[in-house]
Structure 1
């Protein structure tokens, strides 16, 4: 799954995590203020914030782009020497590009959040007649949003195109690895499905979860300080009262509760999904044998195999019933949770529409990031089941013991 595409996976991913931690800490502790060395200094502390598309080529942004490129270049150069790999450009540099695009998309969200303030304050001034607002002022704000959105749309479209090729290269690497060892793998139950379908699903699901996790971490880094700054007018929250960092604390506690709830009600699903793929594969395999051998796929055997399929599906349906009740109940409550938290501040009239919408946006971003596990749980269940199938598949290559279901399949095949 990994060795076919990445150089020396275990040390590679360990070093990637450590290097990432180092460059992130170095950025916030020192490098962020060193842009002046290349004439990309930070603006003065009292400078007005940049609103609109031009924020993406301000000097601090350009300095970060350069810093990121240097960090990736050093890491990739070392691994290029230590462990040459045919798919190096796609697995290492391609992954770095995807991570950068995730960062850029987070910054797009930050730029839109910055636009919310002046736009909604303008709306409030217009509807309350606090001051004259011209139509041109309003359209300028709308055009500012479209300028930011146009960058986001372009980047997303190009990134989706690149990721499609990235995933196919990863699938190709796994396909080449498995087919090169096909004589040793062909006797495993569902071998063809594991090569053709599971390898494709594993690459896609891994990329999706990896990107979502990185996006969650980067969003927290970007929006937690912003949420703290925006909560200056929020002195207390319901139930908890006056507490330090009220909005950050409320978002953290609510997200931890939701994650724990989903993990608890969905704890049995990965195992059931894993077994479901096995019983489906066993049933399908017997039907395939019956196409060429009249003695195979007899009604009693098919009935027994389909009974196993039916039993497992009914277990899945029951477990998904209470899983979905808990999950969707939480998600529906989550839609109004920010208003519950901000109720005392709104009722007291301590906030205007501009900061209110900025808080709602930042609060939503932080909650979504902290709820990564909750929102990704169905995908994680599917990935874990695919991973287990491929690990069992690959156990043959390293001399490991097969799972009980695979051993039983081989025993039945030998007897047949």
Structure 2
């Protein structure tokens, strides 16, 4: 799954973590101060063209060039340009899209304060001022849209290259893999699903971490305006603590509810593969795919799907209750401050936006749990291939004869 696309995967990913930590340490301790920092926040597209942002872009490119050059020299790999440089480009795109969110959050304060002024005192704000604020947002949004579209196009090619690498690797070993249950499906379908799901989860995880890095300081500053929380009263960094505790509570609860889903999804793929295989064999052999046999196989499909639906019902009850409560949770936190009239409309919008970004980052597992279930199932199926190639015992789940055993 990884050795076909990345050079020496275990060592590679360890080196990624070490190099990233070293580069971030150097950036925050020294490099980021070379161009100083402006006391006045830059609003609009100019934020992306500031000296500090352009210096970070160059710094990132240099760090990637050094890392990629070292690996391509130390352990040449045919897919290194895509696996190393391509991954770095997706990483940078994730960072940039987080910066777009930061820019929009910075725009919200002045714009909504302008609206509050216009509503509270007619004639104090001109139409040109409002249109100017809208134009500023349009500029930021345009940059975000262009980057998102180009990233989506590149990621599509990246995923297919990863699938191609896995496909080539398994095809070379096909003589040893062909006897595994559902071998054709694992090569033809699971490779693409694995690459797509890994990329999606990886990018979202990176984006969640970057969002925390970008918005936690913002939320710390904004917490100074929240002097009191319901029931608890006054505590330092109130919004940060509220986001962390609320997100951990939801993540832990939903992970517990959905703990059986990966195993059931694995068996779902197994019974589907068995049913499909019998139908394919019946195309060439009239003795195969007889109604009694197909009825038994489809019974397994139906039984497993009904079990999956039931478990997802439990999971979705918890998930939707949590997510709907999540919508009003920040307003509950802000109620004492709003009643006391201690913040403006613009400041409230900035708090709600920053709180939502931090909260969603901590809720990564909640938002991605269904995808994680699918990935675990695909990984277990492809892990059987890996075991056969390396003459290792098959994973224990492969030997369970009947999905009812789940």
TM interval, shorter chain, is over 0.9
> Is 1:265 equivalent to 2:238 in the alignment?
no
Is contact 1:125–1:131 with CA below 8 Å preserved after alignment? Answer: no
Map 1:8-407 to 2 at 5 A: 8-33=8-33, 35=34, 41-44=35-38, 47-129=39-121, 132-403=124-395, 406=398
Please state how far the C-alpha of 1:321 moved relative to its aligned partner.
1.1
**Residue ranges of structure 2 left out of the alignment (5+ in a row):** 402-406
Q: Give 1:412's aligned residue.
A: none
Please state how far the C-alpha of 1:26 moved relative to its aligned partner.
2.2
* 2:388 partner SS: coil
Is contact 2:383–2:395 with CA below 8 Å preserved after alignment? Answer: no
1:245-265 Cα distance to aligned partner (Å, 9 max, x none): 100000111000110111011
1:245/1:181 CA distance change after superposition, 3 Å: same
Q: Distance in 2 between matches of 1:337 and 1:267?
A: 26
Q: Distance in 2 between matches of 1:242 and 1:365?
A: 23
Please state how far the C-alpha of 1:4 moved relative to its aligned partner.
0.8
TM-score of the aligned structures, taking structure 2 as reference length: 0.96
Q: Give 2:404's aligned residue.
A: none
**Residue ranges of structure 1 left out of the alignment (5+ in a row):** 36-40, 410-416
* 2:392 partner SS: coil
Please state how far the C-alpha of 1:219 moved relative to its aligned partner.
0.2
Q: Distance in 2 between matches of 1:279 and 1:20?
A: 43
Is contact 1:237–1:344 with CA below 8 Å preserved after alignment? Answer: yes
Q: Distance in 1 between matches of 2:247 and 2:129?
A: 39
* 1:395 partner SS: helix
Q: Distance in 1 between matches of 2:212 and 2:396?
A: 43
Q: Distance in 1 between matches of 2:151 and 2:187?
A: 27
Is contact 2:254–2:366 with CA below 8 Å preserved after alignment? Answer: yes
Higher alpha-carbon deviation: 292-301 or 370-379: 292-301
1:22-61 Cα distance to aligned partner (Å, 9 max, x none): 211222222211x2xxxxx1245xx321111011010110
Q: Distance in 2 between matches of 1:265 and 1:408?
A: 23
Please state how far the C-alpha of 1:130 moved relative to its aligned partner.
7.6
1:163-191 Cα distance to aligned partner (Å, 9 max, x none): 11111111111111111111221222111
1:333-361 Cα distance to aligned partner (Å, 9 max, x none): 10111101111101110000111100000
Please state how far the C-alpha of 1:403 moved relative to its aligned partner.
4.3
TM-score of the aligned structures, taking structure 1 as reference length: 0.94
Kindly tell me the number of residue pairs found equivalent between the two proteins.
401
1:70/1:404 CA distance change after superposition, 3 Å: closer
1:359/1:408 CA distance change after superposition, 3 Å: closer
1:394/1:265 CA distance change after superposition, 3 Å: same
Q: Which runs of 4+ in 1 moved over 6 A?
A: none
Q: Distance in 2 between matches of 1:282 and 1:385?
A: 16
1:229/1:289 CA distance change after superposition, 3 Å: same
* 2:389 partner SS: coil
Is contact 1:286–1:302 with CA below 8 Å preserved after alignment? Answer: yes
Q: Distance in 2 between matches of 1:60 and 1:9?
A: 34
* 1:345 partner SS: helix
Higher alpha-carbon deviation: 131-140 or 143-152: 131-140
